[in-house]
Structure 1
Amino acid sequence: MSPAMPEDELADVAEASRSLTIQDRENESKGINFAAERLAQEARQPLSFSGSRGTKDVTAEFAAAAKRLQPGQLVKDDYFTLFEAVGALEIMDPKMDSGYIPPGDSVEPLFDVCLGLPAEEVIWIMDELLRLTIVWHDGYPLSQTVYTSLHVDRLLSPDNKAPYTFSFGDTTDQYDKTEERLVHVVLRAFCVALVKSCALVLHTIQSQNFYEEEDFVTHLFGRELLPGVGAEEALRLVDEAVSFVEAVELDKDMRSALSERLQFVRLYVSLLMNDIDDWTDMTAMGEIADTHALARARPEAFSDNVQRQLATSTPPRPMVPITWKESHQRWLKLSGDITEAGDLTDYDVCQSPHGLQRAIWVFVYRNPTPNTFARAYLQSKLFAGEQVTEGITFFDLMLTDMRDLVLAGHEFADPQSFVVEMPADPRHKCSRIMESFMDKAFDEYMNLYRMVCQNRCRIRRTFTQSVGILDVLEKDAQRSDAELDGVIGGILLPTDDDSALIALNPLTSWTKYHKLLVMAWTIQLGFETDIYLPHETGMMYWYLMVFAQRRRKLLEHIDRFTSARVKNLASSGDVRPQAEAVVSLDWLAVLRKEVDLTISLSSALWQLNTALAMTKAIEAPKRDYAQEQLLYDVRMKSYLGIAHDPVPSLDEYRDAEQSIRSIDEACVNVDSAVKDAKACLAELKKTTSKQGKYFGTENEWKREMKQLETSCVAVGVQTFQLRRTAYKHGQQSLKGVLEVRIPPPGSRYHDWWPVPQVKEKKATGKA
């Protein structure tokens, strides 16, 4: 219990408050007077920092009051002053104050890091450091992980200089006893190597796209990661420690356990230095796990009190403790993720833009999700140099994408046309025009690969920004197409009724396709990140269907020109361009089937959600002051600025919604759409990895087909449940009869396709 404020200070505070009220009485509002009077009254009361007296648990009352608020309703107290706001922060609360020292605790840790330790305790400290390192990989700060080691803290201490030892002041550096040398030779080398590994990991992450604090904490808290020692020197220290362990008189199992840990950290640093490139060797972690039972705990070698000395004002963040067994599994997972990331840079994958793009999506969607370092490692493998992989530049990747989609077999998209230097040659002119456009589109095109390596929320937010950029780029594509038409006279075909000619406009078509694809991704990522309210789900499925229909129409447009090109090349006898155009036709057929699946499944889910809204089983929350148009503008903000192919208005959506006149009609339409979706899936299952460009990810392709098929079955089951309940009760409104639940992410058949779960409520009350 803190002592009460002295009477003279109470009088001063009260007098100052009364003076403020008197001086401002004529100009200030009634609220200011009220606040001043309340301050004066509170100043007379003794302050308490103890929870033993004068406290009341208001949790239940607060929860009850919160339930009375409508969704979106705000509560504002005009008289809640800055003094009260600051007073709400409890300075002596350990959760808020990182410098708080509990009673009986010492400011400095009492453990002596120079103390010799037996082998089993050294093994435990090594294992604990490995555990904390993988916890740091998961996004927790160094101050709560690696830095808590008092041995590491001594190495990083500002008064410790190269060669960074555990000794203090004038203490001799000669250690004769085995236990002392286990600390000052073996454990020191292990700690130095582990600290340098942290520096290498930080360099990899910070050189790529990531979001600090959100993905990874890069803050060093005023400490340097042994700048006077290079990674090569750390490896030399480890080698010396291994030699010592092999020669020292210890139990054979102890010697083997120490050597395994030293070899593991040496391998880890070598992999981070790119001296070796086979991350599968990290399976040696299994041998370490087998000898963990030899360790004997020495918890005094670690202390959370270290953070009191660090340059930070940030309170500790809550951590989820993991066991040694769990940390072992995470090390193995990191090894597996990085091995998979290395496989994505194989030539067979990278030579196909869509195959590479699909492989990156598959990598990011590994379960559990690869951590920040693994995703940064993939980015560094793909984008750190001037080539995606050996022999394939970024320019080649982008040009191949254009050829695969819109210009397969065409002369001016051939790579050989870009080396023609004769200014009068049409190929030279066309290649310069295309190069100019590709320079403008390059950054945004590469984002289609790079930004997939971010966390889910950032992928969606980045792609919503890309929509506007791609729409502006479409205007540049139109200008470039006009310049190409001026050189080669345009790529033209007659319309269906032969009344006019239509142009391919390849660069515009290519840009529009990617824009429509990204728009669909943003909606489906919105489903995955669960940002839509239940009553918005139907509307977003409708917009997804509209975007897919536009993409389907564009693919039909491109397919007409590609088919005509195949016929022309067949008559000319030019085999290589013809084969390229035939492969493109197969690819376009797969794309049409995929977009047909999207149209059918989104149509089914839109109409199912609309039917549920008709029954009042799904309703928008009551908003007294909200306007429907403003709510629509906020939800569709990312798409409202599109100049080419603008999104449908709210009125158009309402017209489509009102076209569904009854629950029975909606259910019939849903069943028909599900049947079409299943037919599309049956066709997609027949495609080869070469046709569908999913080589290297065949297992994931099959798994996704199975998930989509299960989603289709689930839509049919829920539709049947809705129809049966509607017939049973014979009423349009089923509010209070039907219970509808949107499964959260992680419990769906496919995270991009949430299917509402419809359940009839059981009757309550006495018969």
Structure 2
Amino acid sequence: MGGEALNSISQDVANLVLDDGPRNPAPFAAYDSEPPPPPKLKSRGVIAMDITEQFTNAAQQLDMGQLIKDSYFTLFESVGALEIMDRKMDSGYLESGETMEDEYDFSEALLPEEIIGIIDQLLCHEMAWHMGHPLSQTIFTSLYIDRLLSPCPLNLDQTYFDRSESCSSNEPLTLQILRAYCLGLIRTCSYINNRVKAEHYYEEEDFVTHTFNRSLLENIDHESILKLLDETAELLSSSQEMGPNLRIALGCRLRFRAQFLKVVEMADARMPTNIKDLWTDLLAALPDIKSSTHLGKAVPASFSTKIQRKLASTVPPRPIVQVSQGAAFEHLERLCRDASVVVEVLKYYESHSLMTFVILFQTRKPQPSVYARTLLQHYLFCDMVILGTMSIRQVLDDDLAATVLPAHKLLDRGNDDIEVPHDPRHNMAARMEIFRSRAAGSYLDILRTICQNRCRIRRTLCHTIADWDNLQLDAEELDQELREFTEEEPTVDPEISNDPIYSFPLSSWAYFYKLRQMEWIVQLGFELDTYQPDELVGMYWYLQYLAKTRSRHLERMRGFIMRSYASFRRNPETAGQKQVEYANAFSFVNFSTMEAAATYGFADALSCLYTVLNRLSLIPSPSRPYSDDSMRYEVRMKPFSTIGLPELIQFDDLTQLITQPNESTIDIINFAAESVMGAKKGFEILSKLNAKDAYCQGSHDSWLKNIKDCLKACIFTSITISTVKKLVEAAGKDGKVKAKVEIPAAGKGYHDWWIVPKVIP
């Protein structure tokens, strides 16, 4: 091609114009706030038409839950559909005339009322963080906090809000108060964040520990911040720049922040008395702050979402979390009360009381905050030393002695000193150590699981019972090996079997705890509103099945303990301490049997009551086009499908057991009335036990409240059964009952685990 042709083509390209219309003199007019008009398609190959009616008709033909997916609409297309320069999606989007950062004057002195307003707002943001919201939407939205943290200060001289040369000598008192409070707040958050991260929790679900690469003043000495808070409080008390009410309001906030910083720093030390007093003092300081909140004046300009652009530019901008002062103080008060209760766990009584304490602490309403729960984990498991004073072996041996092996040679510490390989004591010590190493993790996992939120407790227990099932099988093999060294003599009971019967103490212990966890899974399902109303009859029947199985297992355990005790009494050289161990074991088995009897009696009564209500067609079954009863039963029993013992009831057999086709309605009602009366008597007996006999030392008040709530639910069930019985007896020949049933929502009844229907004639 010749040079003239090339020049001609270049000239034509240079003369190309994309828009023949008048040119816009404003170069950024395309980014106006008003959206551009829809494009006008003018092409012989494109015909535009309204498809709204056709699309609506096609959508109405789809079944509920049916999905339509275009195979060509991939992830690339979905991401490409996100709009850039949209304030909802683009964190870097700026309005017309808006700057990238806030233009805030940090050198301007604030009024005392404004300092109170900012401090109270920071307290609300701090509690919002404790509730599970990220720092980017709470504390980090404060321009004053951002000023302190950016850049990372190494000492207090680098923490002034005003960065001018004369700032250190001429800092106004109000700004010094705010600076001291903010430093104490950040350092408090640092201790809490580190504690939560060191324990087991669920990110984004329970708590957000992400600091967005900001250092929470880890480089500044803790004592220097406390000293600044104290010096500022003294300076404020002697100042005449403000009225007495304002001085008192600011002073109590500074003292509160200093106390909060001290307690979270000392909470890691496992000293029950000192820490409990600190939490109590912190709770006592809150009324003075609440009574002076009306003096504050809000400063909205001191908080901004633009700071998020420095923290996380890859996510859409998120609004500031607003928590009311009432909700913030309520959460803070509950945090102080829960933390002061947690300290009580450090007083060890015995293993069953420890387990009861953890269970009852997690049932507190509302549920304790994540920080309180991680403190509980810290006290329980820190450095693998239980409660700071005990080894895992001590707790395990205490539990074994109180359950299946009181004063038994298998738990004798003297066995560890025997080094002769053929000595039975050496072999017993070696195999018991194998069992402890296998069982310790499973036992501690129960405590660690209970320290989580309620949904996670149930979900995790569904996995841990499989581990306990395997532990039971492993323990059974060890029991068989230990017989050779303990020289256990079997019993023969012709009513049960002609084969010799051995105690199997280790596997019995594992089976007992496996049954307890299976019961908790079912009971938590009621609390978490997992089951539909028409499923309650089956789940309460399964609960009574598990409780009866545990009761029978306890009877077996009692029988072997009595045999061991009879042999023990024939020995004239018995020690007094061993007598105490046997008494404790009998007491625990008796208590557990009574508790299991009350549980299965109550569950049996509710199952029969729901059976009658289903017969009377008072509990409608919702439409389920994608499932049937057998499929739902398979889902409910999925956690138990891999368990060997107790055996899983087949669906057809369960249906027969629940519907009771061979029993009349009035007979089922009478049986339910008898069962609930038996459960009521059982709960009444339990409510009269002291803390030691009920194995709830350290948490007797909470345990007693729980039993009384069960007793109230029993009484209400008895009233409901009487009402249904009268309706059935007054029904006509057709057997129809004119009544309606109201099933309380989760948490609205007398007890979360006992859902008692209300029958209204």
Q: What TM-score range do you get, normalising by the shorter chain?
A: 0.7 to 0.9
- 1:156-180 CA distance string (max 9 Å, x none): 23487755434577x32435556x3
1:705 is matched with 707
* Change beyond 3 A, Cα 1:353–1:186: same
Q: What letter is aligned with 2:147?
A: R
2:745 is matched with 744
2:568 is matched with 569
Kept in 1: contact 2:492–2:499 (CA 8 A): yes
Shift of 1:93: 7.3
Match of 2:678 among 671, 676, 686: 676
Measured in 1, the distance between the counterparts of 2:105 and 2:187 equals 23
Shift of 1:280: 1.6
2:5 is matched with none
Match of 1:122 among 115, 124, 138: 115
Kept in 1: contact 2:186–2:216 (CA 8 A): yes
Shift of 1:85: 6.3
Measured in 1, the distance between the counterparts of 2:320 and 2:356 equals 34
Measured in 1, the distance between the counterparts of 2:38 and 2:494 equals 91
2:21 is matched with none
Shift of 1:600: 0.6
2:19 is matched with none
1:135 is matched with 128
Q: Is residue 273 from structure 1 mapped to residue 269 from structure 2 by the alignment?
A: no
Kept in 2: contact 1:137–1:372 (CA 8 A): yes
Kept in 2: contact 1:726–1:732 (CA 8 A): no
Q: What letter is aligned with 1:148?
A: T
Matches within 5 A, 1:348-359: 350-359=348-357
1:109 is matched with 102
Shift of 1:729: 3.8
* Change beyond 3 A, Cα 1:728–1:304: farther
Measured in 1, the distance between the counterparts of 2:712 and 2:254 equals 48
Kept in 2: contact 1:491–1:505 (CA 8 A): no
Match of 1:370, SS state, is coil
Shift of 1:478: 0.8
2:687 is matched with 685
Q: Is residue 553 from structure 1 mapped to residue 545 from structure 2 by the alignment?
A: no
CA RMSD of aligned residues (A): 3.3
Structure 2: where are the runs of 5+ without partners?
1-33
2:756 is matched with 755
* Change beyond 3 A, Cα 1:454–1:641: same
2:204 is matched with 213
1:649 is matched with 650
Shift of 1:499: 4.7
Deviates more, 1:304-313 or 1:388-397: 304-313
Measured in 2, the distance between the counterparts of 1:164 and 1:344 equals 42
Q: Is residue 531 from structure 1 mapped to residue 534 from structure 2 by the alignment?
A: no
Q: Is residue 152 from structure 1 mapped to residue 185 from structure 2 by the alignment?
A: no
Shift of 1:716: 1.9
Kept in 1: contact 2:381–2:387 (CA 8 A): no
Shift of 1:628: 4.0
Measured in 1, the distance between the counterparts of 2:84 and 2:640 equals 46
* Change beyond 3 A, Cα 1:451–1:637: same
Measured in 2, the distance between the counterparts of 1:734 and 1:69 equals 38
Q: What letter is aligned with 1:215?
A: D
Kept in 1: contact 2:102–2:306 (CA 8 A): yes
- 1:46-98 CA distance string (max 9 Å, x none): xxxxxxxx999x9xx99xx99x998xx41323559749967987878766666
Shift of 1:319: 7.7
TM-score of the two chains, using structure 2 as the length reference = 0.85
Measured in 1, the distance between the counterparts of 2:592 and 2:733 equals 42
* Change beyond 3 A, Cα 1:174–1:247: farther
Matches within 5 A, 1:48-87: 73-78=64-69, 82=73
1:224 is matched with 215
Matches within 5 A, 1:286-305: 286-305=287-306
Shift of 1:420: 4.4
Match of 1:4 among 34, 37, 41: 37
Measured in 2, the distance between the counterparts of 1:637 and 1:728 equals 42
- 1:521-579 CA distance string (max 9 Å, x none): 00000110001111111111111111111111110000011122222222324132122
Q: What letter is aligned with 2:261?
A: V
Deviates more, 1:667-676 or 1:702-711: 702-711
1:34 is matched with none
Kept in 1: contact 2:106–2:162 (CA 8 A): no
| Aligned-residue identity in percent | 31
1:22 is matched with none
Q: What letter is aligned with 2:146?
A: D
Matches within 5 A, 1:180-199: 180-183=172-175, 185-199=176-190
Kept in 1: contact 2:152–2:215 (CA 8 A): no
Measured in 1, the distance between the counterparts of 2:754 and 2:680 equals 15
Kept in 1: contact 2:512–2:553 (CA 8 A): yes
- 1:707-732 CA distance string (max 9 Å, x none): 11111122222223323333444367
Deviates more, 1:518-527 or 1:195-204: 195-204
* Change beyond 3 A, Cα 1:732–1:419: farther
Match of 1:694 among 693, 696, 709: 696
* Change beyond 3 A, Cα 1:177–1:427: same
Kept in 2: contact 1:354–1:693 (CA 8 A): yes
TM-score of the two chains, using structure 1 as the length reference = 0.85
Measured in 2, the distance between the counterparts of 1:710 and 1:317 equals 46
Shift of 1:641: 0.8
The number of equivalent residue pairs is: 709
Q: What letter is aligned with 2:330?
A: Q
1:393 is matched with 391
Q: Is residue 724 from structure 1 mapped to residue 722 from structure 2 by the alignment?
A: no
* Change beyond 3 A, Cα 1:637–1:732: farther
Shift of 1:700: 1.9
Kept in 2: contact 1:617–1:734 (CA 8 A): no
2:18 is matched with none
Measured in 1, the distance between the counterparts of 2:382 and 2:598 equals 37
Measured in 1, the distance between the counterparts of 2:105 and 2:475 equals 69
Q: What letter is aligned with 1:332?
A: E
Shift of 1:733: 7.0
- 1:18-70 CA distance string (max 9 Å, x none): 8xxxxxxxxxxxxxxxxxxxxx767x99xxxxxxxx999x9xx99xx99x998
2:469 is matched with 471
Matches within 5 A, 1:154-169: 154-158=147-151, 163-167=157-161
Q: What letter is aligned with 1:621?
A: P
Measured in 1, the distance between the counterparts of 2:642 and 2:415 equals 37
2:25 is matched with none
Measured in 1, the distance between the counterparts of 2:150 and 2:170 equals 26
1:50 is matched with none
Measured in 2, the distance between the counterparts of 1:182 and 1:397 equals 54
* Change beyond 3 A, Cα 1:318–1:715: farther
- 1:384-425 CA distance string (max 9 Å, x none): 133223542221111111110000121222344445445444
